[in-house]
Structure 1
């Protein structure tokens, strides 16, 4: 009598079948195994919170910002560069008048607010204050000096 019994599944090692261009197949153990410790740890690890997508208004893409920057339009709103304290910057914290300090330079971001990829709400978090720390935590790779060069209004000085 032939033994047609199914082998005990707990003794089986999960495998994948790989094939090459010559149609040769090879059974290779799957890694990490389906119920192995690596997958269990990864499944139990808290995942970062997903960002909410922000839909920008038409005409407010990064290319539109580059076009506006190079248009020659006054984005500074001041006749010349100046020196500003944090208390002076604090007076400019609305969506229609938003200034921030980044690495000792003061920027009038009012023109840029609606172009920010994270939306108005995110950029308003640094309006009216020194946003260097928050900016570096979230956008350390971004060259803000180039991106906001036409918005530079001056330099941050101590009170």
Structure 2
């Protein structure tokens, strides 16, 4: 391509507000782009200072059990509650639901039948079973304070935790 043709293309791009794309040689790795987060920036310092749980292991979820699969199941209309109506439950009631086939928990005063969610939990079934049959608020807040449990488990909501 001639230089006059190239300059006319640039003028056309400028006049028509067409974005210009510059291709770089793949071996040229030094891009003039600011690094984010910066090496000594507050984002990296906070992340480095945050205490990480000991022995935390990644869990490989079964095929068909991704967060998107969970969202699809929640919106499918399938009954995930397992109860006909919302109720009031005591800690004694919760203790009756502590198996993988029937796992309930309470988080912040709300009781959930988490059985359908067990295989979707990123920490694995074993990790989630730690709160089965009991009030899991404390452990949940220690490990997932940023997670919106009400939204995540809304389709599994069975009622409210009350004093016995």
TM-score computed with the length of structure 1 as normaliser = 0.70
Q: Deviations over 1:59-88 (max 9, x none)?
A: 000000000000000000000000000000
- Residue number in structure 2 paired with 1:137: 142
Q: Which one of 116, 131, 153 corresponds to residue 148 of structure 1? A: 153
CA distance in 2 between partners of 1:81 and 1:123 (Å): 23
**Unaligned stretches of 5+ in structure 1?**
1-20, 22-45
Task: Tell which structure's C-alpha radius of gyration is larger.
Answer: 1
CA distance in 1 between partners of 2:70 and 2:103 (Å): 17
CA distance in 2 between partners of 1:145 and 1:129 (Å): 17
CA distance in 1 between partners of 2:54 and 2:95 (Å): 30
| 1:68 to 2:68 alignment | no
CA distance in 2 between partners of 1:83 and 1:48 (Å): 34
Compared with structure 1, are the counterparts of its residues 54 and 156 closer, same or farther at alpha carbon in structure 2 (3 Å cutoff)? same
Instruction: State the Cα distance separating 1:49 from its structure 2 match.
Output: 2.9
- Residue number in structure 1 paired with 2:127: 122
Instruction: State the Cα distance separating 1:53 from its structure 2 match.
Output: 1.2
Higher normalized strand content (fraction of residues): 1
Instruction: State the Cα distance separating 1:141 from its structure 2 match.
Output: 0.1
Q: Deviations over 1:10-65 (max 9, x none)?
A: xxxxxxxxxxx9xxxxxxxxxxxxxxxxxxxxxxxx98635211001000000000
Q: Deviations over 1:120-157 (max 9, x none)?
A: 00000000000000000000000010010010000001
TM-score computed with the length of structure 2 as normaliser = 0.68
CA distance in 2 between partners of 1:153 and 1:52 (Å): 31
| 1:82 to 2:79 alignment | no
**Unaligned stretches of 5+ in structure 2?**
1-31, 33-50
RMSD: 2.1
Q: Deviations over 1:105-134 (max 9, x none)?
A: 000000000000000000000000000000
Compared with structure 1, are the counterparts of its residues 135 and 48 closer, same or farther at alpha carbon in structure 2 (3 Å cutoff)? closer
